[in-house]
Structure 1
Amino acid sequence: MTASGHGFGHDFDCDVLVIGGGIVGLSTAYALTRAAPGTRVTVLEKEPGPARHQTGRNSGVIHSGVYYRPGSLKARFAVRGAAEMVKFCAEYGIDHKVSGKLIVATGRDELPRLHALVQRGRENGIPVRELGPAQISEYEPEVRGLAAIHVGTTGVCDFGAVAAQLGAASGAEIRYDEEVTAVDRRSWGVAVRTASGTVIRARVLVNCAGLHCDHVARLAGDDPGMRILPFRGEYYELARPDLVRALVYPVPDPAFPFLGVHLTRGIDGGVHVGPNAVPALAREGYSWSAVRPRELAETLGWPGTWRIARRHWRYGAGELHRSLSRRAFATAVRRLLPAVTEDDLRPAAAGVRAQAVLRDGTLADDFLIREAPRTVHVLNAPSPAATASLPIGREVARRALTALAEGRVARGLAG
């Protein structure tokens, strides 16, 4: 790749180049132009439109922040982000509803974990109400459990519409069908080449490539210290949506980063059941038939993959069984919703979660943002990233603007 050596003034196509047109990338663009009006921002997205992967393929839940470790980025950003997301949707007329949710314990072994969630919720400043079996029925007549908590600040919205609105309101130049194939980082800035042969020069690069963020980091010459392991979330739709009024979740297992099979009444009135979480055989592996040998080899070649497999094989075996058997999936759902039958479950679109896994097999639990010269990498932004996208965008933008200012000072001193 050739780029002008001195890289001053008009040689830059933009100040900040964002890779990735999902909700985090577009929120970053929005935050950049809000915090520093006049900043020239370009977003490159390999798909023909925004939010085609994680953002547009989830259950649409605005998470309250009740699950996350107090003081973590997830906790702080989810609590703040949930309130901001409702306000943003209201401001721009995007479909949303604050419906509240139940987290239900169906076994005695789950009661201590449920109580711990009450404490965690209160530490995070979230209003939580404890319920007995009769009170569960007041909220959800068809749901059964030993105890539950009601979280009133949880809601649903259309995150794809939010992402599109963030892009439009940012004033950034958004280029679709532009897949990044090379990154050349120099002392003056960063030059990026796309599959179409386009070269774009920027002062600062922001990597919000989601399922491909580790690959982009390596293109830039940085060792991210992690790999994205793609986990497919498989959903069904409920043929009898009247069985569920709002949102119903099981008590999560703290040893695993997934929330378990839950019931979500979306803004369209339909009820999603899921997700089941299984390893995907491609970064964008939305079905068992979607296999990319090179990506699969990369996953299998990462030491952390085998360590996580050894640690969680029993949990994984159960997820695989439910993936291959609708009867087994229905049995899992019946713990919460006894009236459900196998015939009530209709296959729905799947999603893929980009889960960062460290070399030792640790699943990155919090949002992971790393900085390198003239570059900011977002390396782990799974759920609740959509909920928390406005504060995440501000944090990434803050780091990018700091890099921009430092670069200008350095160039001024060199001049």
Structure 2
Amino acid sequence: MTVPPGTERVGIVGGGIIGLAIARALALTGGFDVTVLEKERRVAAHQTGHNSGVVHAGLYYQPGSLKAILCARGRELTRDYCRDRALPYRELGKLVVAVTPEEVPRLDEIERRARANGVPDLARIGPERMLELERHVAGVGAVHSPHTAVVDFAAIAEAMASDVRGAGGRVLLGAEVVGVSAGERTTAVATTAGSHTFDRLIVCAGLQSDLVARLVGASPSPRILPFRGEYWTLEPSRAELVRGMIYPVPDPRFPFLGVHFTRGVYDDVHVGPNAVPALAREGYGWGNVSLRDTFGSLMWPGAPALFRRHWRMGAREILASLLKPLYYRQAREFVPELRPSDLVEKAHAGVRAQAWSADGSLLDDFAVDQVGSVTLLRNAPSPAATSSMAIAEYVLREHLGVPVREG
């Protein structure tokens, strides 16, 4: 295909919300011929379409980190985009709850980080105010983030794909990348639906990001370790137990938040997720097993250190996944009126692409690598969906040298 002189051909691997946000930003900037390569038959098929739908306000993240900076910017951009495109955006608010006095010092740290990150209208509250906001919650104290919102991230991704096409770009579905050959000036990409030549390549492949990085010739580290998060649906007649979002105080020893309650943008209430090792990169249930993925994780140099560090948490999460009473017991700490029968079915599961270093450590912050003319997102966990348009600005500015209009 012939492109106008002076136009730069950019390929983007991955049709999740980050890849589409970058594609949209480039297509709307002008001077770029943009092609998104997505292996599935729809966009937002994996992490984007399987998350909780929460637009985070930035409570947890280390001040000054990319997560903290890009989450704050991303929340504003997501809010404005939803309003411009008439997509649902509901500020239901979040309580981060200390159930016992022993959790109060950790709640203090969350408040410190949240204030350092400029979380808007944050409030430290006691039990009386907690019950005004959430009539059925239990705890000794909480921080309240009134502007934490919920959206439909899959709908946002579809809208972004439409923006890309409307600006002259392409979103090619069923085009799995199977080969990459990076030359001095161009990069050739082979897919199951044909071959392409680009001046620049940006890899936003999520659960497959390390495999595509290997095709590019990048370092095998970090590797992607898939963690499945399972959600239960709250019985609709009992949905009044939760008005917005009720979260635990995270334990800094562990990389995940723990079970929480979220009222979704369409008023369904989910309880979860837990975090169990998935037996496949796209392992949405215990029956989804990939011997290659599982063996690769077990043979990774960091596996023994990770096991020693987190085996107790892993065993607890696996048991809670298999035994509903244990899952229920965790959830009931925050809403004592919850009954076992209120958890009616496992709604959906998501698989988180957690980057994992060779020393066994789990990467916390966003991570972007550059190999010649290829840009690789190596770690983009939560709040990546919230931050997607801010991540796009960051990649354009810092890795492509494209000026980004502020505001």
TM range (shorter): over 0.9
1:195 to 188, 192, 196: 192
Aligned positions of 1:371-386 closer than 5 A: 371-386=370-385
2:96–2:246 CA contact under 8 A, matched in 1:
yes
Residue 343, structure 1, aligned to residue 353, structure 2:
no
Q: Aligned partners of 1:378, 1:144: CA distance in 2, in Å?
A: 40
Residue 207, structure 1, aligned to residue 206, structure 2:
no
Q: Aligned partners of 1:224, 1:241: CA distance in 2, in Å?
A: 45
2:10–2:199 CA contact under 8 A, matched in 1:
yes
Which residue is 2:282 aligned to? 284
1:22–1:50 CA contact under 8 A, matched in 2:
yes
SS at match of 1:363: coil
2:225 to 214, 229, 234: 229
Identity %: 45
CA deviation map 1:1-36 (0-9, x unaligned):
xxxxxxx9789996110000000000010111233x
Aligned positions of 1:287-366 closer than 5 A: 287-345=285-343, 346-366=345-365
Q: Aligned partners of 2:18, 2:367: CA distance in 1, in Å?
A: 13
Q: Aligned partners of 2:200, 2:38: CA distance in 1, in Å?
A: 17
Q: When the two structures are aligned, how many residues end up with a matched partner?
A: 396
Q: Aligned partners of 2:109, 2:66: CA distance in 1, in Å?
A: 19
Residue 21, structure 1, aligned to residue 19, structure 2:
no
2:8–2:31 CA contact under 8 A, matched in 1:
no
Aligned-residue CA RMSD in angstroms?
1.9
Instruction: List structure 1 runs of 4+ shifted beyond 2 angstroms.
Output: 8-14, 397-403
Which residue is 1:155 aligned to? 149
Residue 58, structure 1, aligned to residue 51, structure 2:
yes
SS at match of 1:118: helix
Q: Aligned partners of 1:281, 1:381: CA distance in 2, in Å?
A: 20
Q: Aligned partners of 2:123, 2:399: CA distance in 1, in Å?
A: 40
Which residue is 1:390 aligned to? 389
CA deviation map 1:96-131 (0-9, x unaligned):
101111000012221001011111111111132111
In structure 2, runs of 5+ residues without a counterpart are 403-407
- TM-score, normalised to structure 1's length? 0.92
1:263 to 247, 261, 284: 261
CA deviation map 1:304-333 (0-9, x unaligned):
222111101111111111101111000000
1:308–1:361 CA contact under 8 A, matched in 2:
yes
- Distance change in 2, residues 1:64/1:9 (3 Å): closer
1:180 to 177, 192, 196: 177
Q: Aligned partners of 2:41, 2:7: CA distance in 1, in Å?
A: 21
Amino acid at match of 2:374: T
Residue 168, structure 1, aligned to residue 165, structure 2:
no
**How far apart are residue 291 of structure 1 and its match?**
0.4
**How far apart are residue 259 of structure 1 and its match?**
1.3
Amino acid at match of 1:82: R
Which residue is 1:69 aligned to? 62
- TM-score, normalised to structure 2's length? 0.94
